[in-house]
Amino acid sequence: MTFIIEAIKDDSRTVDFRSSAIVAVILARKLAVNGFVVSITAPDGQLFSADQFNRLLTSRGLGSHVVAHDAERR
């Protein structure tokens, strides 16, 4: 799974890639503290702004309907 972290500040733009949600959120929060406007795009295409980063760390954030559906099959 690839998470895309995009950060913009003044005339600067940076794009980074991480393979886990927690690592993506850690980097995004560091960038936000340094004054960047940051967003994370999840592997399923969902876009998360800084106030939504916690959702990436819960089952609700990343396709919870898929997780619930898989659990029902077991």
Which pLDDT tens digit goes with each residue over 32-59?
A: 999 999 999 999 999 999 999 999 988 6
Query: Would you call 1 exposed, middle or buried from its count of C-beta atoms within 10 A (0-12, 13-18, 19+)?
Result: exposed
Mean pLDDT of the chain: 85
User: Distance between CA atoms of 69 and 65, rounded to whole angstroms?
Assistant: 6
What are the backbone angles phi and psi of residue 19, rounded to the nearest 5°?
-95, -5
pLDDT of residue 69: 37
pLDDT of residue 62: 62
- Looking at the predicted structure, is the pLDDT value of residue 9 above 50? yes
Torsion of CA 44, 24, 19, 69, to 10 degrees: -40
State the DSSP H helix or E strand holding residue 3, giving kind and residue range, or none if neither.
strand 3-9
Residue recorded with tokens 């995009």: 6
pLDDT of residue 58: 85
DSSP 8-state assignment for residue 42: -
